[in-house]
Chain A
Amino acid sequence: MSSEDDELQQTNTEERFDFRKEEASAVTSGKGLDEDTIRLISEDKDEPDWMLERRLRALEQYHELPMPDDWPGAPDLSGLDIEEIVPYIRPDVEARDATDDWDDLPEDIQDTFDKLGIPEAEKKALSGVGAQYESEVVYQNMQEQWEEKGVIFCNMDEAVQEHEEIVKEYFMTKCVPPSDNKFAALHGAVWSGGSFVYVPEDVTVQMPVQAYFRMNSEGMGQFEHTLIIAEAGSEVHYIEGCSAPKYAAHNLHSGGVEVFVKEDAHVQYSTVQNWSKNTFNLNTKRAIAEKGGRMEWVSGSMGSKATMLYPSTILKGKGASDNHITIAFAGEGQDIDTGAKVYHNAPNTKSTVESKSISKDGGRTNYRGLVHIADGAENSSTAVECDALMFDNESTSDTMPYMEIEESKVDVAHEATVGKIGDEDVFYLQSRGLDDDDAKQMIVSGFIEPITEELPIEYAVELNRLIELEMEGSLG
């Protein structure tokens, strides 16, 4: 491991995530949700009429759709009062459009992202970076070489203005319509910020692009929208990170992610979610993969009070494939309900899901997954593997997979195990001189290793560091 990674290891991660700044904003929508709020957001962004119309229609759907609380074992969302959430805060940044120079940002925002290590990472390992503070993207930059090849990486609001035709065609139309679920509808009504990524045919973006989302204000909601279009034969790796300081009042994060994987394209979408433990994290993420396309979801869910997140992939074209890797860690007071959805709608499609979850100090993890193989999706195969580790008797670990098979020429397998951390393993390590905490940490690292192995090194380090913090009980 390089000395830089060591440095990353040694940073006080708690300090990096949990600091908070004075709330300073140019425009805030006020609490609650009605047509006026939507109009205010849309007007403040100077949006075209069609976008305002889509927002208003989504708002209607939001009011009609039921809360997802009648699912078996659904997380308790009763603490979430959407009328108390401030959906839109435009931070007080001089330039309306995101800057490409960190120095242009107000000192407190600059300081925030410095502490999170974003500019540092940009220099080292990324093709482009976007940084969102409250509801707006405040920084966006991409290396010139990619711009020259026609790659677009800009904030979503800018895309509405600059790439209107593309956005109009793809934005919450064919992948995640607002009618999908209540929070997708809410998202459709009040979305703000997020990234737009467009990779032209046959372009491979070698280094990942990253977006970082930060909520600073108490009681706010963040609703960023990410739209990724990877044209035929292209390749891109998108990484998002999220965090917020902890407050007494609840925050809400309800992001929307739409990924279009065209013929033979390859998209990897990685998330390390470390929202503070007062945040409700209710996202809708979906990809559509055309013929030969390959989608990969890597999700680490460490933070939040309650998470409901089921990244899904529709394998629409022949030979398309999908991989899901998820790690969930629920500590005290956390309910991490996460999983994967895969629809096999074409022949020769493949999917794999690997899930590892850890629950501790009364936390709950649940793997909730759906694999659907449609009639005619011949020679499709899917393999789902879920492993759960439990630390103590206050914790809960559930596994709820659903398999719907309409085609006979398939190979479908699901496997799950649940167990406690082995007393013998702990004893062995202790007998070698490790203390109890270190021994358990080492066992957990070993437990998730098959997954961290597949992550980019910076992320694996970050994830391990977060888990260590959780184990020390020093976060939240």
Chain B
Amino acid sequence: MRTQLHTAVDESTVRQISEELGEPEWLLETRLEALDALEELDMPDVIRTPGRTWTNLYDLDYESFVDPLNAAEEKDQEGPDEIEVLSIAEAVEQLPDVLEEHFGSVVDPQENYLTALSTALFSTGTVIYVPEEVDAEDVAIRTRMNSSSLFNYTLVVTEKSSSVTILERQSTGDADVEGERYYSGIVEVAAGENSHVQYGALQNLDDDTYNYTLKRADAGTYSTVSFIDGNLGSRLTKTEVSTELNGDGAETKIVGAFFGRDDQHFDLDSKVWHRAEHTTADLVMRGVVDDVARSVYEGVQDVGSMAWDTNSYQRENTLMLSDESEADASPKLIINNHDTEASHSATVGQVDQEDLFYMTSRGVDPKAARDMLVEGFFVPVLEEVEVEELRNDIQELISKRLDE
């Protein structure tokens, strides 16, 4: 990796961040190790075919916007009283053991250059801890970014037979920031036995922001993890939403929706690893690209040799609204156990001309007809969203975007 970061990022910066959060030695060490590893680490994998690199992460000029000591945001973190919803500094104080046990256990801090950068520099975040047999709804995290860079870390731990619904929103605040920005978010979910996690996220950062997000769950025995990931904002987004089904009978659902316009670039990965028996996965992604926007989708269903009795499904559909938009897709199946039922499908197309004709023939004007069809296109994804608030939010942002 290139070492163009040293002006803004060095050991003293990392020490300062860690000290301000009152962190224990082990966490500082983890950060420093990640910092040291930067030189050797590569960017996250992107697909390359002969003559085409689906997403170019190497041309990003991190130096121009990474400014970890001046990170600023408005954050709301709230949840019901039975569970803990803490900032990093609070978690260091109140839940040191939980933090130490789970930090970096799902996402290796040194998985790639960007995770290591995020680990070394995160200055804000949320720790959500749900004790045994507690059911919690309405955990809301709202982050408004007010600086040129922000590194965010989220940890969700659910104990046995608990459940939680979390809604996360990222957007850009009102602060006047010149030039391009960088948002980096790592989310680790450790779902304990028979627990149920629903994690909805809606990213609507402004068009000057580069966004890297990695959300991954470790799903324990009989647990269920549902991710819902909406991407509307940012200039470039590289994101992975993934689940390791490590416990017998674990289930996951990864639902995604995106809407790109202007020159937005979305690189969205959905991945699932079946590592235990009787596991089930359902990956659903739908998105629209308009103007000169480009979408890249990679979906991976990886069935390990010990994953007997696996069910794994994947669907991806992209709708192209303009001539200049582009859409790449690669749904992958990697199957090492024959006791598996797996399928995937992907389609790319435009608004159905016959549908459009039918509606205009009924007197609907063409623009309104198209908008209705686009909204209709998202319905199968929206139906998967169990949380009404999130569903309404996504729907609203989609119709707003159609009106722009």
Residue numbers of A with Cβ under 8 A of B are 72-73, 370, 372, 375, 388, 390-393, 395-421
Contacts and interface: CB of A to CB of B under 8 A. Distances in A.
Contacts of B339: 393, 420
B305 interface: yes
B96 interface: no
A410 B346 CA distance: 13
A418 B54 CA distance: 27
A403 B348 contact: yes
From DSSP, what is the main secondary structure of chain B's interface residues? Answer: strand
Nearest to A412: B348
A412 B349 contact: yes
Contacts of A401: 330-332, 346
Contacts of A395: 338
B328 A402 contact: yes
Nearest to B289: A408
Interface string B319-352: 0111111111111111111111111111111100
A411 B349 contact: yes
Contact of B343 (A372, A405, A416): A416
B270 to A, nearest CB: 15
B274 to A, nearest CB: 12
Interface residues of B, number: 38
A392 to B, nearest CB: 6
Given A396-B336, A418-B340, A405 B331 contact: no
A413 B338 contact: no
A414 B344 CA distance: 8
Given A393-B305, A408-B321, A418-B340, 19 more contacts: A375-B326, A398-B332, A399-B333, A401-B330, A402-B329, A403-B348, A404-B326, A404-B328, A406-B326, A408-B325, A410-B320, A413-B345, A413-B346, A414-B329, A416-B343, A417-B343, A418-B333, A419-B341, A420-B339
Contact of A418 (B323, B328, B343, B347): B343
* Pairs A-B, 5 closest by C-beta atoms: A390-B338, A408-B320, A412-B348, A399-B333, A420-B338
B52 interface: yes
A199 to B, nearest CB: 30
A196 B382 CA distance: 57
21 contacts: A372-B52, A375-B323, A392-B338, A396-B335, A397-B335, A398-B333, A399-B332, A401-B331, A403-B329, A403-B330, A404-B52, A404-B326, A405-B348, A406-B326, A408-B320, A410-B349, A412-B346, A416-B333, A416-B344, A420-B338, A421-B338
Contacts of A420: 338-340
B106 to A, nearest CB: 22
B47 interface: yes
A413 B325 CA distance: 18
Nearest to A406: B326
B323 A408 contact: yes
A415 B345 contact: yes
Given A400-B330, A402-B49, A404-B52, A412 B338 contact: no
B333 A397 contact: yes
Nearest to B308: A393
Interface string B257-291: 00000000000000000000000000000000000
From DSSP, what is the main secondary structure of chain A's interface residues? Answer: strand
A185 to B, nearest CB: 14
Contacts of B327: 403, 405
Nearest to B344: A416
Nearest to A378: B323
Contact of B340 (A410, A416, A419): A419
A139 B317 CA distance: 52
A416 B344 CA distance: 5
Interface in B5-61: 47, 49-50, 52, 54
A402 B330 CA distance: 5
Nearest to A392: B338
Contacts of B50: 370
Contacts of B49: 370, 372, 402, 404
A406 B294 CA distance: 9
A409 B328 CA distance: 15
Contacts of B341: 418-419
A251 to B, nearest CB: 27
Contacts of B334: 73, 396, 398
Contacts of B335: 388, 390, 396-398, 418
A414 B345 CA distance: 5
- Name which of A406, A413, A420 has the most chain B CB atoms within 10 A of its CB: A406
A412 B347 CA distance: 5
B149 to A, nearest CB: 31
Nearest to B295: A405
Nearest to A416: B344
A390 to B, nearest CB: 4
Contacts of B47: 402
A3 B49 CA distance: 49
Nearest to B305: A393
Contacts of A399: 331-333, 344
A120 B79 CA distance: 81
B357 to A, nearest CB: 15
Given A390-B335, A397-B333, A408-B320, A403 B340 contact: no
Nearest to A419: B341
A416 B52 CA distance: 24
A414 B28 CA distance: 47
B342 A419 contact: yes
Interface in B178-204: none
A399 to B, nearest CB: 4
B338 A391 contact: yes
Given A408-B320, A408-B322, A414-B331, A393 B338 contact: yes
Contacts of B324: 375
Nearest to B290: A408
A375 B325 CA distance: 9
B368 to A, nearest CB: 20
Nearest to B316: A414
A403 B337 CA distance: 26
Given A393-B305, A401-B330, A407 B338 contact: no
Contacts of A73: 334
A469 B349 CA distance: 43
A390 B318 CA distance: 30
- Name which of A72, A418, A419 has the most chain B CB atoms within 10 A of its CB: A418
Nearest to B303: A418
A412 B327 CA distance: 11
A409 to B, nearest CB: 6
Contacts of B320: 405, 408, 410
Given A398-B333, A418-B333, A403 B338 contact: no
B337 A393 contact: yes
A417 B334 CA distance: 11
Contacts of A413: 345-347
Contacts of A398: 332-335
Contacts of A419: 340-342
A175 B81 CA distance: 68
A209 B50 CA distance: 33
A153 to B, nearest CB: 32
Contacts of A400: 330, 332-333
A414 B316 CA distance: 10
A153 B52 CA distance: 38
A370 B347 CA distance: 14
